[in-house]
Chains A and B, each alone.
Chain A
């Protein structure tokens, strides 16, 4: 058990579909992240939530919409995606605070998204 669970593991969708990716952690962490992993490119940070507030949005197109209803759950809502959005989407979490040193990220196994 990784501690960070992502569903679904694989998703195929058409450009007009609406779908959501889900991330769940029960590690007592208070920050959650969405990263996009494309082949031969560095992981791209998309969104960061700290204490359930969005603290980062790295110029991500509006067809990606994050939601963090509580500190244990994070969603990425997908709408009208493009084929170039096909990638592995990784969720991560961390415990933020001065007492926690490097605040190491714990990752999930990712959701492989294919947009047709």
Chain B
């Protein structure tokens, strides 16, 4: 079974600075998807960024980018120019490449605090 580990329960960053959230995972499969979701106080989980394991290029979405190290099974999220609205819980998630549905395996989350 796949597992996802987020070793940082809480992180803090100053506004306009850069922060990196860590995620490692365990799988025996070679093809899969990885995701970062954000959950603000409103509780709705919002997709931040996704990565296909077969792509060597790291995904980027505006201020959000990932460092995907397939051999190390590491998938960290970098947030540049942090904003107050980035404060939220961040969840790393794994999904098999095939299957009848998009069943995600989540980590325990990292709470990000953004300070002035």
Q: Which residues of A contact B (CB under 8 A)?
A: 2, 31, 33, 40-43, 45, 48, 50, 55-56, 88, 90, 92, 94, 96, 102-110, 112
Contact = CB atoms under 8 A, between A and B. Distances in A.
A90 B108 contact: no
Given A43-B106, A107-B45, A55 B101 contact: yes
A106 B47 CA distance: 8
A102 B101 CA distance: 10
Nearest to A105: B102
A45 B43 contact: no
Contact of A43 (B46, B91, B100): B91
Contacts of A56: 101, 103
Given A90-B45, A102-B35, A107-B46, 8 more contacts: A31-B102, A43-B91, A94-B101, A94-B102, A96-B102, A103-B102, A106-B47, A109-B44
Interface range on chain B (Cβ under 8 Å from partner): 20 to 34
A102 B50 contact: yes
Interface of B: 4, 9, 33, 35, 37, 42-47, 50, 52, 91, 95, 100-109
Contact of A50 (B35, B45, B46, B101): B101
